[in-house]
Amino acid sequence: MTADFENPNKGFESYLQFNPTPDGRFGKYGGAYLPDELIPAFEEITEAYNTICNSAQFINELRRIRKEFQGRPTPVYHCERLSRKIGGAQIYLKREDLNHSGAHKLNHCMGEGLLAKFMGKKKLIAETGAGQHGVALATAAAYFGMDCDIYMGEVDIKKQAPNVTRMKMLGASVIPVSHGLRTLKEAVDAAFEGYMKEYNDAIYCIGSCVGPHPFPMIVRDFQSVVGYEARDQFKEMTGLLPEAICACVGGGSNSMGLFTAFLADPVDIYGVEPMGRGEKMGDNAASITFGSEGVMHGFNSLMLKDKNGEPAPVYSCASGLDYPSVGPEHAYLHELGRVNYVSVTDDEAVEAFFLLCRYEGIIPAIESSHALAYALKFAREHKTGTILVNLSGRGDKDIDYIYENYGCGEQFKLD
Ligand SMILES: *Cc1c(COP(=O)(O)O)cnc(C)c1O
C-alpha cells in the first residue's frame, strides 16, 4: 500500500475541521441567503446542532436507531459475477438499498428527526418532488411521534401516486401546491412559507446536502455513516482501501455520505452527474459539468442557468437527480480538484440497471444505476484494481417506467 507520505491527499486530514467555515462557507460556495424573518430560526438550528452533535446522549441514541430501526450497518458486497463478465477492475457495492425504507435518505431524516426532538419541536416540514424525501421524512416523523407536513406540487402528486399514499399511510399531511408550474420549485417556496408561520414548534428538514447553512453540513454529517462503515468493511474484506469510489450526484447527499470518510486517503473519487438525453440545455442535469456560480434556494453554488440567468430547465430519467444546482461542498471539492466529476447518460444508466439485475440479482434505483454505469466504464478501462460504488437505493419505484420503455432488458447481455 502507498506509504502515507506518498499520499497526494494528505492535506485533507484537517479538511473537516475547517469546512464549512462557521458561517457555512465551502470556499466561496454555500452560505445562507435567507429572508430576514427566517434568520433567527436557522441560527437556532445551527446552535442546537453544534451543541448536540458533540453530546454522548445524542450520538448514542442515533447509533441505537441506526442499528435497531434502520438495520445498519448495511453490507459491502463484491459483485464477483458482474466483475468477471466485465473482465477488469473488481466492483464492490455499499448496499444503501438495504437501509430501512430502501434508500440512503433515511440516514439524514432520522438525524433531523432526532435533532428536532432534542430541540423540543413537534412537527417536521419539508417539500418533496418525486416523493422519496417525503416518504423518508414521514417515516422519521412516525418513529418520533411528530406531525409531518409535506408540500408537494399538484403535478407531482398526480405523477407519484404510490409515494403520496405511502406518506399518508405513515401519518403525514401531504399539502398540494397549486401555483406556478406546480412542481418542486413551487413546493420549496410553499414549504418555506409554511415553516415561517410556525418555526417555534416546527423544524424544516431538507432532503439533500443543499439549502442554506447549516443544512449542507448537517446532512453531510448524518450521511457520513455510509462512508465510515464502508471504509472499515472494505478494509476488513480485502486488507486494502479501494482504488476508486463513486456515487451519483443529484443534490449530493449520498455522494458526500460516501466521500467524506475517504477525502484524506489515497483513493480516487468520482461524482457521477446525469447527462440525460445529451448535452443541450434542458436535456440533462449536470450542474457541475455545465453550471456557473449562482444563488438559488438560499445557497451559492454551481447552477445551470438559462439565457436570463434563471435556473435552467433540467431533465434526467432519474427524478432524484434532476436538480439545476448542486450541494455547495461538491462545487468546492470540484474547485479543489479532490473529486472528479463525470457524467453518464440515461441509456448508460439503464444498461447498468439491467446488468445488475441479471448478473447479481439486485434491482437498483435508476439514480444509483448512474454510479454503477460509471463503475462499469472504470472497470472496462482498468484491467486491475477495485472500485466501490454507493448503491444509494433499490429500484422497485422504477420498474414501471423502465418496463414501459425498455421491456425486461433481454437486449442487455454480456458474453
Ligand atoms: C434522492 C435520491 C438520490 C439523489 O439524491 P442525493 O442527495 O444526490 O444523494 C440518489 N439515489 C436515490 C436512491 C435517491 O432516492
Instruction: List, for residues 124-146, the tens digit of each pLDDT value.
Output: 999 998 899 999 999 999 999 99
Give the three cell numbers for residue 254.
449520498
Average pLDDT for the chain: 95
Q: Which amino acid is at 321?
A: L
Q: Does a structural domain hold residue 403?
A: yes
Domain identity same for 91 and 132: no
Is the shortest distance between the CB of 274 and ligand 1 below 6 Å? Answer: no
| Domain enclosing residue 298, as ranges | 71-102+224-412
Q: Does a structural domain hold residue 23?
A: no
pLDDT in tens, 235-268: 999 999 999 999 999 999 999 999 999 999 999 9
Cα of 37 from ligand 1 centre, angstroms: 30
The residues carrying an active-site annotation are 79, 104
Is the shortest distance between the CB of 106 and ligand 1 below 6 Å? Answer: no
pLDDT in tens, 268-305: 999 999 999 999 999 999 999 999 999 999 999 999 99
Domain identity same for 383 and 275: yes
Mutate to test the pocket of ligand 1, among 95, 160, 248 (most ligand atoms within 8 A of CB): 248
Which band of pLDDT confidence, cut at 50, 70 and 90, is reported for residue 4?
Answer: low
For residue 135, the domain's CATH number is 3.40.50.1100
Task: Count the helix, strand and coil residues of the chain and give each as a percent rounded to the nearest 5.
Answer: 50, 20, 35
Of residues 351, 296, 295, 344, the one with CA closest to residue 321: 344
pLDDT at 10: 82
Is the shortest distance between the CB of 320 and ligand 1 below 6 Å? Answer: yes
Domain identity same for 334 and 402: yes
DSSP code at position 205 = -
> Which residues lie closer than 8 Å to 413 by C-beta, 6 or more apart?
358
> String of b and e for 340-376 (b: at least 16 CB within 10 Å)?
ebbbbbbebbbbbbbbbbbbbebbbbbbbbbbbbbbb
Of residues 380, 388, 376, 90, the one with CA closest to residue 267: 388
Is the shortest distance between the CB of 368 and ligand 1 below 6 Å? Answer: yes
Which residue, chain included where needed, has cell 471539492?
Answer: 333
**How do beta strands 90-95 and 147-153 pair?**
unpaired
Of residues 169, 156, 201, 373, the one with CA closest to residue 276: 373
Mutate to test the pocket of ligand 1, among 74, 95, 104 (most ligand atoms within 8 A of CB): 104
